[in-house]
Each structure stands twice: as C-alpha cells, then as structure tokens.
Amino acid sequence: MSLIEIKDLHATVSDKEILKGIDLTVDAGEIHAVMGPNGSGKSTLAQVLAGNPAYEVTGGSVTYDGKDLLALPPEERAQHGIFLAFQYPVEIPGVSNAYFLRAAYNEVRKAHGEEEVDPLEFADFMEEKLALVDMDASMLNRSVNQGFSGGEKKRNEILQMAVLQPRLAILDETESGLDIDALRIVADGVNKLKRPDNATIVVTHYQRLLNYIVPDFVHVLVNGRIAKSGGKELALELEDKGYDWVTSGAPVGAGAA
C-alpha cells in the first residue's frame, strides 16, 4: 500500500484555481522532488496536504495511510505523521521553543496512545536532536522563531521534524534564504532522518537542494498539473535547459512509480 495517493486534486485560493488535477503516489522509503516555475502550484500542494484552511479543495482525493486525508483537520494530520517544513516559519513571541516542542511532541504521543513526557525526560531526548541540526541548547530557551536568522528558522523546522518523526515530511522551499553551509546542515539533517518507513516530498524551485537531498523521483509542476516525471536526472536536465523546456513541450501528466 502506498503511503500517500493523490488523485486528480483540484484546489483554489481566493476563488482562483491553482491545482488543476494533481496525481502523485509516494511510497514509504522514497524521496520525491516537486519542482516547477513560480506560480505553478508547488507551495499550494504542500499547504493543501497540510490542511491550510486558506486553500479550498474543489475536487479529487488524497488517501494517506489508508485514510481520507482531506477529511482530517490539520492537527490530526500532524498527529498522524504529516509534517510541513514551512517556507516562512511563523514567530510566536513569548513562547519558548522548548515549551512549544514538548507540547507538540506530547500531542503526537497522546494521539498514538503513548504517555506524555515531562520536561526532564524531554531535555534528554532533545540533546541528540539538537546535534542533528547542529543547534545549541540555548536555542530552546528562545521564543519560537522570534529574532531567528533565516538559517536558524530553517534549522528550527528540521529540528521540529526530528522531534516529531513524521511519516511524511513535506519541505516547502526549504533552501530559500539559506547560505551554502546552512543548506548542507539542513540537508544533512533531513538525510539522517530518512528511514525505510517514512517518505519525503521536497518542494523546490532550484536543483541546488537536490545535490544534497537526492530524490528517487522528480516531478515538474506546470500550471497546476504535473507536466513531467522522471528520476533524479530530470532535475539536472531542468537545471540545464530551464523550465521552458517543459512548459513548451506536451504535458506528460503521469504519476510516478
């Protein structure tokens, strides 16, 4: 059984149709890259899968782990293992990172019938997670994303991913705002979190990130549809020829795998 199966997905934002029939299937253990020019619908796809209420699904279906994903509110999707690394992480002033992370971790544990962890247990648990993204423990005492540099915000997203251990992680343009060192740290973290039972969808405009997070499949999104799918070499070809190469050609429009 596939981890997630997206069929003919249509979605609008402010009455404008952005997704015009997406078909995509992702199995456990796979990394898929979704690429495409600006405005093609990449970020919309990420937001819709996470359940952002600003987007309206107007057609199609998404089956995740045997469940109708679209029927679940965002927090239940998260509790069932869907994680979105935000392109623009949001600031929550006055709420410490440690408190926020523990609250989120405990919600996910509760959803799985596991006991909540207390602050001391959590502190131990956090030690290895911090090392994964090369973060100092002092980051935990700072307010969530407040005053963080672009790189710190993105590392904080991956830290949250490490804590919540999702089954399906969606990285939305994670490379934006990162210098090359930060990019390497972030990619390194994502790679270390890869397991046979989880999957990652990397939404990206440039091929750059894919040098570090090597995808099994690459999909090119054009005007709300997948115009072309292929292996990792497709990303390199795109880098070489530009998106015009796909947009001018006839859509292939098939799902992967």
Partner 1 sequence: MSSSIETLISREYQHGFVTDIESDTMPAGLSEDVVRAISEKKSEPAFMVEWRLKAYRRWLSMKEPHWPNVTYGPIDYQATSYYSAPKTKTPLGSIDDVDPELLKTYAKLGIPLYEQKMLAGVAVDAIFDSVSVGTTMREELAKHGIIFCSFGEALREHPELVEKYLGSVVPYSDNFFAALNSAVFSDGSFVYVPKGVRCPVELSTYFRINSADTGQFERTLIIADEGAYVSYLEGCTAPKRSTNQLHAAVVELVALKGATIKYSTVQNWYAGDKEGRGGIYNFVTKRGKAAENAKISWTQVETGSAITWKYPSVILQGDNSVGEFYSVAVVNNKQQADTGTKMIHIGRNTKSTIVSKGISAGEGNNSYRGRVQVLPRATGARNYTQCDSMLVGNRCGAHTFPYIEVGNNSAIVEHEASTSKIGEDQIFYLKQRGLSAEQAVSMIVSGFCKEVFKELPMEFALEAQALLGITLEGSVG
Question: Helices 150-164 and 180-192, interaxial angle, to 10°?
Answer: 0
57 binds partner 1 (CB under 8 A): no
Provide the token pair at 61. Answer: 């279906």
> What is the C-alpha to C-alpha distance for residues 196 and 191, in angstroms, rounded to an integer?
12
> What is the C-alpha to C-alpha distance for residues 168 and 46, in angstroms, rounded to an integer?
11
Q: Among residues 25 and 52, whose Cβ is nearest to partner 1?
A: 52
Q: Among residues 6 and 108, whose Cβ is nearest to partner 1?
A: 108
Q: Which residues inside 10-49 make contact with partner 1, applying CB under 8 A?
A: none
> What is the C-alpha to C-alpha distance for residues 77 and 23, in angstroms, rounded to an integer?
20
Per-residue contact string for residues 106-145; x = within reach of partner 1 by CB under 8 A: -xx--x------xx-----------------------x--
147 binds partner 1 (CB under 8 A): no
148 binds partner 1 (CB under 8 A): no
CB 169 within 8 A of CB 81: no
Q: Among residues 21 and 74, whose Cβ is nearest to partner 1?
A: 74
Number of residues near partner 1 (by CB under 8 A): 34
Q: What are phi and psi of 29, to 5 degrees?
A: 90, 0
97 binds partner 1 (CB under 8 A): no
- Choices 50-58, 192-200, 206-214, 243-251; region in contact with partner 1 by CB under 8 A: 50-58
- Choices 30-38, 61-69, 71-79, 178-186; region in contact with partner 1 by CB under 8 A: 71-79
Q: Which of 58, 68, 73, 242 binds partner 1 (CB under 8 A)?
A: 73
> What is the C-alpha to C-alpha distance for residues 25 and 62, in angstroms, rounded to an integer?
10
Provide the token pair at 54. Answer: 């600003």
198 binds partner 1 (CB under 8 A): no
Sign of the alpha-carbon torsion through 74, 36, 14, 7: negative
- Cβ neighbours around 220 below 10 Å, total: 27
Q: Which of 22, 50, 190, 218 binds partner 1 (CB under 8 A)?
A: 50
Q: Among residues 50 and 203, whose Cβ is nearest to partner 1?
A: 50
Q: What are phi and psi of 195, to 5 degrees?
A: -135, 165
In DSSP terms, which residues pair with 61 in a beta bridge? 7
CB 172 within 8 A of CB 43: yes
56 binds partner 1 (CB under 8 A): no
Q: Which residues bind partner 1 (CB under 8 A)?
A: 50-54, 73-75, 77-79, 83-84, 86, 89-96, 99-100, 103-104, 107-108, 111, 118-119, 143, 160, 164
